[in-house]
A and B are shown apart, each in its own frame.
Chain A
Amino acid sequence: EAQVTQNPRYLITVTGKKLTVTCSQNMNHEYMSWYRQDPGLGLRQIYYSMNVEVTDKGDVPEGYKVSRKEKRNFPLILESPSPNQTSLYFCASRASGGAGELFFGEGSRLTVL
């Protein structure tokens, strides 16, 4: 089954404790991206990757890091989480050709205390 898998789905952590949200897709997609969703703000892009070893900032990259060492994986790293990073995070992937439909993971709800 074609899917984008995120882990963990739910996490409560404390300020400053480094964490990684993993994202893996099994569709051999070149493009992957991270979004965060906050009430009243919709979805905003954090980072994206056009292919392996190619990453770039989205609209709200501050406080986040990403890496793309393998095509299937695109982890989101919060080096020193802060309460304003409490959010619902979505990973997405898309084939480089075609009309750009994004496939989303199920979301990861992160709370930073």
Chain B
Amino acid sequence: AQKVTQAQTEISVVEKEDVTLDCVYETRDTTYYLFWYKQPPSGELVFLIRRNSFDEQNEISGRYSWNFQKSTSSFNFTITASQVVDSAVYFCALPRWGGSQGNLIFGKGTKLSVKP
């Protein structure tokens, strides 16, 4: 069965610290996508990244980076030099079936608080 586990319920860091949010998944598919979404205090859901299971290279976007490891079924998200604006709930997600066409199953989310 498809499953996404975000074991960290809440994380609190001080500004400028690096922080890693963990995501472990289970899938029966050989080809799949993985997603991260951000939900700031204002409540909207913001798409951050989509990663294809074919591509295990790490991805970097500014202060954000993602480490995809198929061998451990993990897709971890690191924020370097965190800022107060990074405070949000972060969700990892996986399609329910197929490589990309299915509905998303979300983890329960990790609430990140970045203190000044």
Chain A residues at the B interface, C-beta cutoff of 8 Å:
33, 35, 40-45, 48, 58, 88, 90, 96, 98-104, 106-107
Contact = CB atoms under 8 A, between A and B. Distances in A.
Interface string B23-52: 000000000010100000001110100101
A99 B43 contact: no
A33 B45 CA distance: 14
Contacts, number: 48
A58 B97 CA distance: 13
A109 B105 CA distance: 21
A101 B35 contact: yes
Nearest to A43: B106
B95 A100 contact: yes
Given A40-B108, A48-B103, A99 B44 contact: no
A42 B9 CA distance: 11
Given A43-B91, A90-B45, A100 B104 contact: yes
